[in-house]
Structure 1
């Protein structure tokens, strides 16, 4: 988030952690992801086993240059499983027959040997990839896959390889050419990985399981970690090898998971631009972008919201202990309907907005905190709208949706009566998405209760980013 005061500029932009990874038609009837707030794309949102089954079928593929260890065994199982999925479902969406990749190649990026992948020496190549030239898939067993497994479990490894196999599928199906922008190919592959993961979540895989609760949440955390690094406008890397923000890549994965491979065919540059809209992608030069969470900055955010939405009865702001007769008060920020008061626990909000990166690669920052403040303002908007409950699961998702609407409004400068100018900066949306996944506060009701599925919470937020207030109220009535 950026706040400027007339006559001086406070530079505010966020840093990110990048985890590098060159990272159908399903049975059943399509169901709206919002039909039941306790479901995930028509399946119950439940925790349970996630990862390689104890009774998993053996891999059907051999691995070149393997060390015979657990990581290569897991990767070979993943590719074998992914191939079985596409062998069964490829023709229904793309027509024709499916052709498996020719070879799987493993290497240790820390080993100074003479192993090559796609014509290049792999020393220091902490990555995984699909090589179009010889139709092979390879991975680093030395650093990348072990780190992924430690941070997010077996299915993070499987997802990366499902993404790489997506590149093989898209080339077979003629979805891309040499002229296709990198970002299109990458988000199509994210989508195709989501299609396979839905098959696993439905219990169809003979090797893996994926719960729709914590298991799927961990996959989304990995997707967030795979986002592009934040760049300044003059950086030489701008426009090169672009994969997309966390918001974009998670969205692409969710399209495939919810709607199948046909939705992946629809991803092109025009669709990506439409989803991106006016959301900032690059940071202005010489700006660092962190807006310290202070009493003044919180007041500035609230002033900006009042200007953007013009409520008939603006909520009051308090930094005292939260007391509310008709809602459970507390947390970094809360809203009390009876008094139309937003209460902020400043130390708790500052802790929430501190820049940090957890072991999964999900990075928090200032907008992790400010998005929670905005969400409580949007509860006041709901209260004044009337006719809707504020204390149930639908209210939690409605709050996330309306926070998405408010987020887009801050893409333009909003100048407050105090002379501050509030504006969204590149990376802020990803910080909000990270918070929605990890703590769920933005997607919680007036009592601070959320729904169990991070997938559904992020979906609701995206609905608001791509829609408007009316759409949020109609969807979550």
Structure 2
């Protein structure tokens, strides 16, 4: 979020870029993710075991340069499983025979071994990748894969390798040209990984399981942990090793998970540009991207929302958090609560300030945190006030939670344009803000909660509702979630 005196124009971005080694048109019967708030792309959202099965079939592939470690065994099992999936899916998708990658190569990035992968020395190469020069896949067994497993579980290792195998698939299928932007091929690989994970979630894998509740939530958190830093306009070069934002990366994964591998080839530069709309992807020279939460900033954000949405009866803002407990028709949803009976938004400023801080500990495990982690929750309570004024919809059920997430997405897009407030400042979201909201949706779900602070169990569904708002409008949200 940025704030400035109105001495000149302010341009804003709400997209953060990703690091990783590395509206879609599809055919067939569509799977609606909106039929039931407690379903994930047509599957029940349930918790359960996630990761390597206790009785997993052994790997069918051997690993070159392995040290015989558990992590290499896990990686070999993952590649074997991914190949089982593509043995079935590749002929159906591309009407051709599937060819496995030639070799799997492991290395120790922290060691001094004299090894290479794809022409590069592996010392300090904390990465995984597909090498199109010799049709191989390799990984660092010392830091990258163990770190993923420790933070997000076995399934995160399988997902990273499914992404790398996605590069092998689009290379084998020749669905890209030599000059295809990096962003396109990375989004396609995320989509292919999502399609494989749907196969796992449906119980088809002989080696892995994935629950559609907590397991998929954790996996999505792992997906957004691989991201590029937010760049300034001096550093950003469109098309240069660009991987997309966490928002975009999850979107591509969800395309594959929901619509299957055939949808992934539909991701091209035109589709991504359309999906991004007019949102820039870098910070302006004098932007930090962060505006610490304070009474001033909260007032300014609410003032901006009044301007953008112009409700006939704008909600009253209060910093007396205790008044939420006296609301006759809603329970408190700290750190920000909305009471329909009094049309009041009550803010616990101290807790909201804490939620909006960037955390080195969170960043260390790939969690995105910042000012818009907090502001998105504030915005969501304002969106409940808009629903209350409109009338005709419940505010205390699962549909309301997803409708709120959707409308918060609408507000997010609106706030990427500078808004002049009554205090003489301009307010705008900046690069990284969208991903901070996405991280909050996956971790606490408050921006996708009903008037009582209750959310749906699936982060996948919360994210999908939010994205529909970012890419749509208010009417779309009310139609999707009546």
Q: Is the structural similarity TM-score above 0.5?
A: yes
The aligned counterpart of 1:351 is 354
8 Å CA contact retained: 2:15, 2:433: no
Q: 2:339 aligns with which of 333, 336, 341?
A: 336
2:83 is the alignment partner of 1:78? no
Task: Select which of 320, 329, 335 maps to 1:326.
Answer: 329
Larger displacement relative to structure 2 (433-442 or 329-338): 329-338
Given candidates 450, 455, 460, the residue that maps to 1:450 is: 455
Residue 42 of structure 2 is aligned to residue 42 of structure 1: yes
Hey, what's the Cα distance between the residues in 1 that align with 2:168 and 2:430? 35
Q: May I ask how many residue pairs the two structures share in their alignment?
A: 473
Cα distance in 1, alignment partners of residues 301 and 35 from structure 2? 33
Q: In the alignment, does 2:120 pair up with 1:120? A: yes
* Comparing 356-365 and 170-179, the one that deviates more: 356-365
Structure with higher RCO (Cα < 8 A, 6+ apart): 2
Structure 2 residue runs of 5 or longer lacking an equivalent are 23-27
Q: Counterpart in 1 of 2:134?
A: 134
Give runs of aligned pairs for residues 374-385 of structure 1, distance below 5 A. Answer: 374-385=379-390
The residue number in structure 2 matching 1:90 is 90
Q: Secondary structure at the match of 2:82?
A: helix
User: Unpaired runs of 5+ in structure 1?
Assistant: none
Say whether residues 1:21 and 2:26 are aligned partners: no
User: What is the 5 A alignment of 1:246-395?
Assistant: 246-320=246-320, 321=322, 322=324, 323-356=326-359, 357-358=361-362, 360-395=365-400
Distance 1:13 1:99, change over 3 A: closer
Which segment is superposed worse, 456-465 or 222-231?
Answer: 222-231
Specify whether residues 341 and 282 from structure 1 end up closer, same or farther in structure 2 by C-alpha distance, changes over 3 A only: same
Counterpart contact for 1:17–1:225, Cα < 8 Å: no
Cα distance in 2 for residues equivalent to 1:315 and 1:15 = 29
| Other-structure match for 1:3 | 3
Deviation of 1:14 after TM superposition, in Å, equals: 10
Q: What are the equivalent positions in structure 2 for 1:154-169 lying under 5 Å apart?
A: 154-169=154-169
State the superposition RMSD in angstroms: 2.0
Please state how far the C-alpha of 1:287 moved relative to its aligned partner.
2.4
Query: 1:457 and 1:16 mapped to 2: Cα distance?
Result: 19
Q: Which residue of 1 aligns with 2:25?
A: none
Q: Deviation at 1:94?
A: 1.1
Q: Distance in 2 between matches of 1:434 and 1:184?
A: 23
Q: Distance in 1 between matches of 2:276 and 2:16?
A: 19
Which sits farther off after the overlay, 290-299 or 356-365?
356-365
Q: Distance in 1 between matches of 2:285 and 2:38?
A: 43
Secondary structure of the residue that 2:308 maps to in structure 1? helix
Looking at structure 2, the residues matched to 7 and 276 of structure 1 have their Cα atoms a distance apart, in angstroms, of 28
1:414 CA drift (Å): 0.4
Relative to structure 1, the CA distance from residue 8 to residue 267 in structure 2 (aligned partners, 3 Å threshold; closer, same or farther) is: closer
Q: Show CA shifts across 1:160-186 (max 9, x none).
A: 000000011111111112111000000
Worse-superposed segment, 411-420 or 130-139:
411-420
Aligned-pair CA distance for 1:141: 0.2
Bigger CA drift: 220-229 or 277-286? 277-286
Alpha-carbon contact 1:166-1:190 (below 8 Å) kept: yes
User: What is the aligned partner in structure 1 of residue 445 from structure 2?
Assistant: 440
**Structure 2 counterpart SS, 1:399:** helix
Displacement of 1:8? 9.6
- CA separation of 1:450/1:178 partners in 2, compared to 1, >3 Å: closer, same or farther? same
* Cα distance between partner residues in 2 of 1:387 and 1:154: 45
State whether residues 231 and 238 of structure 1, in contact with CA within 8 Å, keep that contact through their aligned partners in structure 2. Answer: no
TM-score between the two structures when normalised by the length of structure 2? 0.95
Whether 1:229 aligns to 2:234 is no
- The alpha-carbon deviation at position 289 of structure 1 amounts to 2.0
SS of match in other structure, 2:406:
helix
Note if contact 2:20-2:243 (Cα within 8 Å) is conserved in structure 1.
no
Match of 2:176 in 1: 176
2:210 aligned partner: 210
1:469 aligns to 2:468 (yes or no): no
Summarize the Cα distance change of 1:205–1:275 in structure 2 as closer, same or farther, 3 Å threshold: same
Task: Name the structure 1 match of 2:431.
Answer: 426
Distance in 1 of aligned mates of 2:216 and 2:236: 35
Q: Tell me how far 1:286 sits from its aligned partner.
A: 3.5
CA-CA distance at 1:274 after TM superposition:
1.1
Pairwise CA distance, 1:195: 0.2
Q: Does the aligned pair in 2 maintain the 1:2–1:13 contact within 8 Å?
A: no
1:9 is displaced (CA, Å) by: 11
Secondary structure of the residue aligned to 2:4 is: strand
Q: Secondary structure at the match of 2:129?
A: strand
The answer to whether the 8 A contact 1:13-1:291 is kept is no
CA contact (8 A) 2:406 2:477 kept: yes
Out of 453-462 and 322-331, give the one that drifted further. Answer: 322-331
